[in-house]
Amino acid sequence: MKPGLSGERSLEHPIIWIAVIAGALGSILLLKAVAWLAFPLILAVVLYYLVQPLLQRLQLAGVTPGQALGIFLGAATILTLIFSLTILPSMLNSLADFQNQIPTYWDRLQGVLRDNLLALESRFSFAKKAGLANSLQEQLNLFLAGSGKEYIADVALFLLHWLPSLLLVPFLTFFFLRDGTAFHRLVLRAVPNAFFEKTLLLFDRMDNQMRAYFRGMFGLTMLDTVSLGLGLWFLGHGPGIFGFWDAMFLGLICAIFAWVPYIGSGLGGILAVATVAVKAPSSSGLMVAVVLLFLGVRLLDEFIYTPMTVGRALRMHPLITVMMIFSGGMLGGVYGLLLAMPLLGIFTVLGQMFAEIWFDPRLRARYQARGLLEKRLASKDLGI
Amino acid sequence: MNLLGLFRPPPMDPLLQVVSGVPIFRDCNRAELEALKLHLHERNFLAGEIVFDEGEDGEGMYVVIRGKLRANRKGILTKKSLGVIQAGESFGEMALLGAGPRMATVVAEEDTTVLAMFRPELVALAQARPRLGYKIAMGVALVLESRLRRFADGQSTEPSAT
């Protein structure tokens, strides 16, 4: 018998939609409350979905699942050792250099902002009346003297707080890869017979949705990194602003910012322009070129990269997307911004499947019939 | 003490022994059956309980471990019994080929234990182990072929039970 409502139609029910949004926002709050565990857990899930195809390829080559996991762990350990011995020391040196340069960069950034505001003041009288350049200078000084120090201390504490929990990531990923199937079976044992096949389908859809999303996001991040990195390198290597790896690193950071739909790309663009402003304060033409580069990559993202990688499976109405991102950001800060859309995707599938099961009168009747059979069996010798 | 006994593999899981006797999995070796075991879901049905309904989207197949079930198909006026499914037999194999509607309603005639195999899980397993995938696909094809032959010979009134 056909379900009472199809997957798409079931979501037309307003209660389901409200429940989907409430579930996504509620889980953001929950994840924020247990962020020390949720953060490594989410990273482990992402790693699980990224590593799984490698293990499947190894299995295709004829090794058992256990051997495939062993080979992967061995290779990961060797690569980590090589990274720690070769690339990590030079990265730490670069980081130390960058730390020493922060005051210079900060002065330059202030100078660029001040110069531009003064130019604005000389051209428009309302800007001069507002005293934009002076008020900005005052605000920045106040920030540095007061809340800035606290803010920097908060960020440092935040990072210190997170480092130990990050050690959980490889541990959790290993167990997901090793025992994921067994855990899946254990959960399914609790499902009543009447809903069993539908629930299996729900798990499968959710698994596919998460796999497609995380793998797609990984692919999209790589494509964005390469496009932005090459573009920044092409624009900046002549004036000596960016080396190849500097440009790629900045491209990677901007690509990670772009995980937050609509807003992230803009923030990445501002970061790149600020970097150019700091490194070459006098080259305003280059800043315009960087803005154009970001607009170009945004178009590539929209029309080529996203359909190629993430697809349009998680595409929601732009209004819902923006509302979810802002609500997520308000409730869960950075987590909320990053997790709002994937969680909405997962809860949409859950909502669809719940509606399919719950609004199917035949499945509910079968479930109730099972209850009656159990009752009859239990009271057989009682003569009721 | 028999030292040679140490090198003997441990006895096979009783559930897998039943699975190994089902025509679809008859050609699978022990390692393949062990891999399959991770994707088997044991379900218990009470006498009178429905396993699946005719017309419902099929998502997987079942192997009977213990008990007895009956397959029924709606006729124009009355319900028609297609036969009894005993321990060691399988049903619902058509769902392995695609998510089409079930061709019969299957009801437990007595308290029954079955092993359920879900199509997407079996497909993923077959992709990871193509040799096993080939054996299962051939097994399903042979079961359907034998049912079609019985139907053509007039021994069965339906080309497929479920």
Write the pLDDT tens digit of every residue in A247-265.
888 899 899 888 877 678 8
Per-residue pLDDT at A172 exceeds 80 = yes
pLDDT band at A146 (very low <50, low <70, confident <90, very high): low
Distance CA A272, CA A301 (A): 17
Interface residue A12 vs chain B (CB under 8 A)? no
Distance from CA of A80 to the nearest CA of B (A): 27
Q: Give the pLDDT confidence score for residue A338 in this predicted structure.
A: 77
pLDDT band at A313 (very low <50, low <70, confident <90, very high): low
Q: Give the pLDDT confidence score for residue A159 in this predicted structure.
A: 66
Identify which of A193, A201, A377 has the shortest CB distance to residue B45. Answer: A193
H or E stretch including B65?
A: strand B60-66
pLDDT band at B157 (very low <50, low <70, confident <90, very high): low
Distance CA A61, CA A55 (A): 10
Q: Give the pLDDT confidence score for residue B148 in this predicted structure.
A: 85
Residue A370: its chain B contacts at CB < 8 A? 46, 49
Q: Give the pLDDT confidence score for residue A3 in this predicted structure.
A: 39
Identify which of B42, B54, B128 has the shortest CB distance to residue A59. Answer: B128
Q: Give the pLDDT confidence score for residue A222 in this predicted structure.
A: 92
Distance CA B162, CA B160 (A): 6
For chain B, the domains span 13-152
Question: How many CA atoms are closer than 13 Å to the CA of A136, on its beta-carbon side?
Answer: 17
Mean pLDDT, range B73-102, rounded to an integer: 82
Q: Where are the alpha helices (DSSP H) in chain A?
A: 7-10, 14-33, 35-60, 65-85, 87-123, 125-130, 132-145, 147-166, 168-188, 196-236, 244-257, 263-279, 284-300, 306-308, 318-358, 361-378
Per-residue pLDDT at A2 exceeds 50 = no
Identify which of B39, B47, B55 has the shortest CB distance to residue A1. Answer: B55
Identify which of B50, B55, B60 has the shortest CB distance to residue A366. Answer: B50
Could you give the percent of chain A with pLDDT greater than 70?
89
Q: What mean pLDDT, rounded, does chain A reach?
A: 80
pLDDT band at A7 (very low <50, low <70, confident <90, very high): very low
Interface residue A125 vs chain B (CB under 8 A)? no
Q: Give the pLDDT confidence score for residue A5 in this predicted structure.
A: 39
**Is the dihedral angle over the CA atoms A293, A269, A209, B133 positive or is it negative?**
positive
Higher pLDDT, A61 or A168: A168
Distance from CA of A342 to the nearest CA of B (A): 23
Distance from CA of B10 to the nearest CA of A (A): 19
> Do B79 and B9 meet the contact criterion of CB atoms below 8 Å apart?
no
Identify which of A65, A182, A373 has the shortest CB distance to residue B46. Answer: A373
Q: Give the pLDDT confidence score for residue A144 in this predicted structure.
A: 66
Residue B116 dihedral angles phi and psi, to the nearest 5°: -100, 140
Per-residue pLDDT at A314 exceeds 80 = no
Per-residue pLDDT at B113 exceeds 90 = yes
Mean pLDDT, range B72-89, rounded to an integer: 81
- A vs B, Cβ pairs < 8 A, gives 71
Q: Topology of domain B13-152, per CATH? A: Jelly Rolls (2.60.120)
Which residues are within 8 A (CB) of A241 and not within 5 positions of it... i.e. 6 or more apart?
A235, A276, A279, A280, A286
Give whole-number Cα distances, B151 to A258, A363, B69, B143, B154, in Å: 61, 32, 21, 12, 5
Per-residue pLDDT at B62 exceeds 90 = yes
Among chain A residues, CA nearest to B52: A194
Give whole-number Cα distances, B142 to A66, B32, B138, B146, B159, in Å: 32, 19, 6, 6, 13
Determine, for residues A1 and B130 on separate chains, whether the beta-carbon distance falls below 8 Å.
no
Among chain B residues, CA nearest to A375: B46
Residue A1: its chain B contacts at CB < 8 A? 53-56
Interface residue A375 vs chain B (CB under 8 A)? no
pLDDT band at B59 (very low <50, low <70, confident <90, very high): confident
Interface residues from chain B to A (CB-CB < 8 Å): 31, 35, 38-39, 41-60, 116, 118, 120-121, 127-130
Per-residue pLDDT at A102 exceeds 90 = no
**3-state DSSP assignment of residue B69:** strand
Q: Nearest Cα to A119, choosing from A284, A1, A265?
A: A284
Distance from CA of A259 to the nearest CA of B (A): 29
**Is the dihedral angle over the CA atoms B135, B138, B143, B144 positive or is it negative?**
positive
**3-state DSSP assignment of residue A86:** coil
Q: Give the pLDDT confidence score for residue A241 in this predicted structure.
A: 78
Interface residue A56 vs chain B (CB under 8 A)? yes
Identify which of B38, B49, B118 has the shortest CB distance to residue A200. Answer: B118
Interface residue A64 vs chain B (CB under 8 A)? yes
Identify which of A64, A197, A377 has the shortest CB distance to residue B59. Answer: A197
Q: Where are the alpha helices (DSSP H) in A124-195?
A: 125-130, 132-145, 147-166, 168-188
Taking the CB of residue A347, how many other CB atoms lie within 10 A of it?
Answer: 22
Determine, for residues B31 and A64 on separate chains, whether the beta-carbon distance falls below 8 Å.
yes
pLDDT in tens, B3-35: 666 677 777 788 888 888 888 888 888 888 888
Higher pLDDT, B88 or A139: B88
Per-residue pLDDT at B162 exceeds 60 = no
Determine, for residues B128 and A189 on separate chains, whether the beta-carbon distance falls below 8 Å.
no
Tokens (6 digits) for A367: 């479930």
Residue A356: its chain B contacts at CB < 8 A? none
Q: Give the pLDDT confidence score for residue A223 in this predicted structure.
A: 92
pLDDT band at A319 (very low <50, low <70, confident <90, very high): confident
Q: Nearest Cα to A16, choosing from A3, A5, A28, A30?
A: A5
Per-residue pLDDT at A4 exceeds 50 = no
Higher pLDDT, B69 or B38: B69
Interface residue A60 vs chain B (CB under 8 A)? yes
pLDDT in tens, A321-361: 778 888 888 888 777 877 888 788 888 878 887 888 878 88
Q: Give the pLDDT confidence score for residue A9 in this predicted structure.
A: 47
Determine, for residues A373 and B48 on separate chains, whether the beta-carbon distance falls below 8 Å.
yes
